[in-house]
Amino acid sequence: MSLDRPLTRNVRPDKSPTDMAAYEANGGYQGLRAAMGKLSPGDCLQIIKDSNLRGRGGAGFPTGMKWSFVPMDNPSGGHKYLICNADEMEPGTFKDRLLMECDPHQLIEGMILSAYTIQADVAYIFIRAEYLLAADLLRQAIAECHAKGYLGKNILGTDYNLEIHVHASAGRYICGEETALINALEGKRANPRAKPPFPQVSGLWGRPTIVNNVETLCNIHHIIERGADWFQSLGLTTDAGTKMYGVSGRVKKPGCWELPIGTTVREILEEYAGGMEDGYQMRGFLPGGGSTDFLVEEHLDLAMDYDTIGKAGSRMGTGTMIILDDKTCPVGFVKNLVEFFSRESCGFCTPCRDGLPWSAQVLDDIEHGRGLPEDLDTLARQVGFIGAMGNTHCALAPGAMEPLASGLKYFREDFERHISAGECHFSNSKTGGAG
Amino acid sequence: MMSEQLIKVLSDVETALSEAELAEIDAELAHVPTPSGAAIDALKIVQAHRGWVSDESLKAIASYLDMSAAELDGIATFYTLIFRRPVGDKVILLCNSVTCWMKGCDGLQQQITDQLGIGLGETTADNKYTLLPMTCLGACDKAPVMMVGDDLHEDVTEQSLQAMFHDAGGKQ
């Protein structure tokens, strides 16, 4: 059993799923067996706090701290909920699919222990509708757990009860935002909610609710089984654990790998992704999905962890990098992203609903040679208005502005040349039918 | 007279859902504290049976869940995978997010249009396929990707696309 790559230890070369027998044969559900009846919810919470696990969905919020806001006294005896956010839709992100398709029981075991820690009695896996295989495997895993006494009433002979339901979404990127997700689970339009109240206190159906990403939850039973010190020792920098890193774009071997958190961008790009395809140079990269700021060559030797990438002016986000190469138009690249965010805006907040289509239109004008010099000022103003935290309920709008703001910074000459020349100077510009 | 008509309309609405649909919706209702909580599930159930959600279906679901049709339509139209217009036997979900865009999804879209004679949001005349753009499908290492019905197709090329729709009649 590989202790330094816990999340992918059951991932086979052919990516075939690990069933209950194979999972248990490799030590699966030992964490659950070790904890139930022996560790109190408070003990588990302390281990997770001490481990310094940070949310792998993109925000990097400390998981133990998030959980600690859930009220543990429950005089009314009402439900508390754990929700697994499996609505993987961030452009360029393909890590949770791998974890769920290859090792569904790892997620279930993590969820049982997480739910136990916050004393939730009902849990949901909110999964995007397109992940049909993962949803089937998870339903099957849940049924296997009921048969084994790992789910249902009196889990492993204790007085703890838990049901897990798989809930397939009906589409829309915004459902990945935790309060929007809660509204979607309640059968409503997925508009994010104003905070406070935070879901930990008043979430699904007004009850205490924790929403965690798939990768975050997959870590939990490993940490509880092996301890906070072990988890801390896996990281190369101040962050703890491993991270599912990915690379897509014009690299020789696009893919997704579990590596110690804090591995450098260069190592991920050159050693794991095999470097750029022949004939392509890297111009920049989004470190963790479509809503993160560009970084460039000078950042290649930075450690991929939350704080280091944050200090460089971006975010580690989901940890799955998208590479901008020298034969792809940066204006077109940014336009694709802003059009995406414009389409996916829930439409509730004015800066997002109206500002994103406006920005997309300006970018379309520039890309197709209709741009004016003052358009760059317009875009900069939009970045200030749409990108400011606090102008909108949720982070979709600020996230949408990250590739635009940083694109204007690092690739300004490309924007200016489009405007002065009145055309896109990339010969294989993939502007599609819009032009 | 009016009231008799109204009663007839209402009773049609009440009986518009099949027993199988009602049984599945009832199973979802058991999990939620208010009927409207099952709105999305009910829409998906009816769509699974009928292929899409017509105005009549929508009204029947709304009535059953004790919601206004307008409120339910606000929910139905929010979600990209609830279809308020008829779709073909298989829906093509073409990823056009940034990695697939870099790897040529616009060219694939054009080829689909040439082969099947449909643009985004359109359905072939033989009702086999509907083409829709889709948010990142989470397989970016295999870009460009698309789904046809329930199947994910990775590393899609001009040739593989040609083979995928070889049985389609070309431009209508």
The structure tokens 């071997």 sit at A253
- Asked if the C-beta of B33 comes within 8 angstroms of chain A's C-beta atoms, the answer is yes
CATH class of A6-234: alpha beta
Q: What is the pLDDT of residues A352-406, one digit of tens each?
A: 999 999 999 999 999 999 999 999 999 999 999 999 988 999 999 999 999 999 9
pLDDT of A432 over the 60 cut: no
- Asked if the C-beta of B137 comes within 8 angstroms of chain A's C-beta atoms, the answer is yes
Q: Which of residues 39-78 of B touch A (CB under 8 A)?
A: 39-41, 43-44, 74-75, 78
Q: Are strands A242-248 and A255-260 parallel, antiparallel or unpaired?
A: antiparallel
Residue A345 C-alpha, separation from nearest chain B C-alpha, in angstroms:
11
User: Looking at chain A, which residues constitute the CATH 3.10.20.600 domain(s)?
Assistant: 242-325
pLDDT of A431 over the 60 cut: no
Q: Are strands B90-95 and B146-148 parallel, antiparallel or unpaired?
A: antiparallel
Rounded to whole angstroms, the Cα distance separating B83 from A150 reads: 38
pTM: 0.94
Q: Pick from A352, A318, A320: which is nearest to A180 by CA?
A: A352
The answer to whether the CB atoms of A187 and B40 lie below 8 A apart is: yes
The structure tokens 């040739």 sit at B159
DSSP helix/strand/coil, A304: coil
Cα torsion A303, A308, A310, A313: sign: negative
The answer to whether the CB atoms of A254 and B74 lie below 8 A apart is: no
Percent of chain A residues past pLDDT 90, beyond the cut:
94
Q: Which residues of A touch B33 (CB under 8 A)?
A: 205
What DSSP string runs through A68-98? HTS----TT----EEEEEE---STT--SHHH
Q: Which residues of B touch A172 (CB under 8 A)?
A: 78-80
pLDDT of B59 over the 90 cut: yes
The answer to whether the CB atoms of B140 and A337 lie below 8 A apart is: no
The answer to whether the CB atoms of B106 and A173 lie below 8 A apart is: no
Q: Are strands A320-325 and A282-286 parallel, antiparallel or unpaired?
A: antiparallel
Q: How many CB pairs under 8 A join A and B?
A: 128
The average pLDDT across A140-166 equals 97
The answer to whether the CB atoms of A92 and B137 lie below 8 A apart is: no
Given a contact cutoff of 8 angstroms between Cβ atoms, the answer to whether A246 and A56 are in contact is no
Q: Residues for chain A: how many in total?
A: 435
pLDDT of B148 over the 90 cut: yes
Q: Pick from B133, B107, B111: which is nearest to B120 by CA?
A: B133
Q: Pick from A28, A1, A216, A18: which is nearest to A102 by CA?
A: A18
pLDDT of A102 over the 50 cut: yes
Rounded to whole angstroms, the Cα distance separating A361 from A368 reads: 11
User: Looking at chain A, which residues constitute the CATH 3.40.50.11540 domain(s)?
Assistant: 6-234
Task: For residue A219, count CB atoms less than 10 angstroms from its CB and return exposed for 0-12, middle for 13-18, buried for 19 or more.
Answer: buried
Check residue A2 and give its pLDDT: 52
pLDDT of B8 over the 60 cut: no
For chain B, the structural domain boundaries read: 2-76, 90-164
pLDDT of B10 over the 90 cut: no
The residue among B98, B111, B132 with the most chain A CBs within 10 A of its CB, best to mutate, is B98
Q: What is the pLDDT of residues B91-143, one digit of tens each?
A: 999 999 999 999 999 999 999 999 999 999 999 999 999 999 999 999 999 99
The answer to whether the CB atoms of B140 and A93 lie below 8 A apart is: yes
| CATH fold for domain A330-434 | de novo design (two linked rop proteins) (1.20.1440)
Q: Pick from A74, A59, A129: which is nearest to A288 by CA?
A: A59
The average pLDDT across A37-42 equals 95
We find that the CATH architecture of domain A242-325 is Roll (3.10)
Rounded to whole angstroms, the Cα distance separating A322 from A266 reads: 13
pLDDT of B13 over the 60 cut: no
Check: CATH 3.40.30.10 for B90-164? yes
Q: Which residues of A touch B118 (CB under 8 A)?
A: none
DSSP helix/strand/coil, A122: strand
Q: Pick from A109, A132, A112, A134: which is nearest to A123 by CA?
A: A112
